[in-house]
């Protein structure tokens, strides 16, 4: 059921921002030049729309498409996803990054089944109550699935607004974001909400890109303040930089014949819920003095190995770096070949996995890539 703007957000309209010509230009452009062949655009089913919107958070379309297809093949309905094991879900998500999304996805599916009989509610305010669904995502799901007139404000839309309306300040700061939300509400069209919402996303993804925007093809060029004042390189303003933290992890690649030892990580934190290589004392913050050589921690390495078997040889593998949003992780792998293996200790978090099965395992991308290279 479609809802009016005031029904959903009664106090958010700012009359100074009302501009019917803006939405009309976006809708006309989207119908003629926007994207229409993406897999999730072929259905208004709320489950498929929700799945795509969660996957697309902070992730490029090209990366999402194969994961979306595999998810639907294994979990064609919300009931299938809700009844799946955590290991199955994390395995299907492995490599897509931001793993909290996968845990929230699983919990959300369970709640939709338990609370709404498998039917996603149409009201964005109700959708927001589910894990992993924020205000913008709730509006997108409701708009695409039910035609609800509700405003989105993801990163692409913020960039379009900042440039077209010449908005100063970092869009992630609360005062700027609040003002953008008011503008997003005021600019909503009375009809064609699906084309308008998709149009905003398409403009930000294909024309009004972070670098080298295609201003000559943009339907909003004549009203764009950033274009008129040659400020597309400045707007939106970037977040004030902080020194990026650096961490080191000493990971143990323990092998016996054609198997490698993996450890289940805690549900919270980096790579939560995934399998990974055992770490010596976890991740360490790097200070100005740098990290100690792995040989300085050899007693700790030998102590951990001794829990699982007798080592034939201990050698280091080339260090590599994985970049997260907020820090860099320098990974030093240490390989240990076991001449014999002890019976598995009574800790369920450890498991021996065949190297031939690594591709299907729920592993962080850098760890999977390391082990796949070794398996060749």
The catalytic site residues sit at 53
> Which parts of the chain fold into alpha helices (H)?
5-8, 20-33, 46-55, 61-74, 78-83, 86-93, 100-116, 124-127, 135-146, 155-164, 174-186, 193-202, 225-228, 298-306, 365-375
Match 């993804």 to its residue by tokens: 205
Q: Is 39 exposed, middle or buried (0-12, 13-18, 19+ CB in 10 A)?
A: middle
Please enumerate in sequence order all residues whose Cβ is within 8 A of that of 275, keeping only pairs 6 or more positions apart, or say none: 262, 263, 264, 265, 351, 353, 361, 362, 363
Cβ contact 227:221 at 8 Å: yes
For residues 306 and 326, give the distance between their C-alpha atoms in angstroms, rounded to a whole number: 35
Residue with tokens 């921690």: 297
Question: Quick one: the chain helix, strand, coil %, rounded to 5?
Answer: 45, 15, 40
Which helix (H) or strand (E) segment holds residue 180: the answer is: helix 174-186
Instruction: Give the contacts of 47 (CB within 8 A, at least 6 positions apart).
Output: 77, 78, 120
Q: β-strands 327-341, 245-256: how paired? A: parallel
Q: Which residue has the tokens 């230009």?
A: 25
- Does residue 295 sit in helix, strand or coil? helix
Whose tokens are 């009016």? That residue is 4
Interior/surface letters 292-324, b for 16+ CB within 10 angstroms, e for the rest: eebeebeeebeebbeebbebeebeebeeeebee
């Amino acid at each position: 059921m479609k809802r009016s703007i005031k029904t959903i957000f009664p106090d958010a309209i700012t009359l100074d921002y009302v501009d019917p010509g803006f939405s009309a230009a976006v809708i006309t452009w989207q119908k003629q030049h926007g994207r229409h062949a993406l897999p999730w655009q072929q259905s208004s089913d709320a489950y498929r729309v929700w799945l795509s919107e969660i996957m697309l958070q902070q992730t490029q379309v090209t990366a999402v498409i194969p994961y979306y297809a595999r998810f639907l093949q294994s979990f064609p309905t919300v009931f299938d996803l809700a009844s799946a094991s955590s290991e199955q879900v994390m395995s299907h998500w492995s490599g897509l990054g931001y793993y909290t999304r996968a845990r929230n996805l699983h919990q959300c599916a369970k709640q939709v089944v338990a609370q709404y009989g498998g039917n996603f509610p149409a009201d964005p305010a109700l959708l927001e109550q589910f894990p992993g669904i924020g205000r913008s995502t709730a509006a997108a799901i409701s708009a695409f699935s039910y035609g609800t007139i509700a405003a989105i404000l993801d990163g692409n839309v913020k960039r379009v607004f900042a440039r077209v309306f010449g908005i100063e300040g970092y869009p992630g700061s609360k005062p700027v974001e609040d003002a953008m939300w008011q503008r997003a509400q005021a600019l909503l069209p009375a009809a064609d909400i699906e084309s308008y919402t998709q149009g905003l996303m398409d403009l930000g993804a294909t024309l009004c890109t972070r670098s080298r925007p295609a201003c000559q093809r943009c339907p909003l060029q004549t009203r764009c303040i950033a274009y008129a004042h040659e400020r597309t390189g400045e707007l939106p303003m970037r977040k004030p930089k902080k020194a990026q933290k650096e961490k080191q992890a000493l990971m143990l690649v323990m092998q016996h014949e054609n198997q490698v030892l993996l450890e289940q990580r805690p549900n919270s934190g980096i790579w939560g819920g995934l399998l990974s290589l055992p770490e010596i004392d976890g991740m360490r913050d790097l200070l100005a003095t740098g990290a100690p050589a792995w040989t300085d921690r050899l007693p700790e390495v030998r102590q951990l190995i001794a829990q699982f078997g007798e080592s034939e040889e201990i050698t280091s593998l080339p260090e590599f770096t994985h970049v997260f949003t907020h820090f860099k992780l320098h990974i030093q792998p240490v390989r240990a070949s076991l001449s014999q293996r002890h019976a598995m200790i009574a800790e369920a978090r450890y498991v021996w996995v065949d190297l031939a099965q690594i591709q299907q395992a729920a592993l962080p991308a850098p760890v999977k890539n390391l082990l796949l290279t070794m398996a060749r």
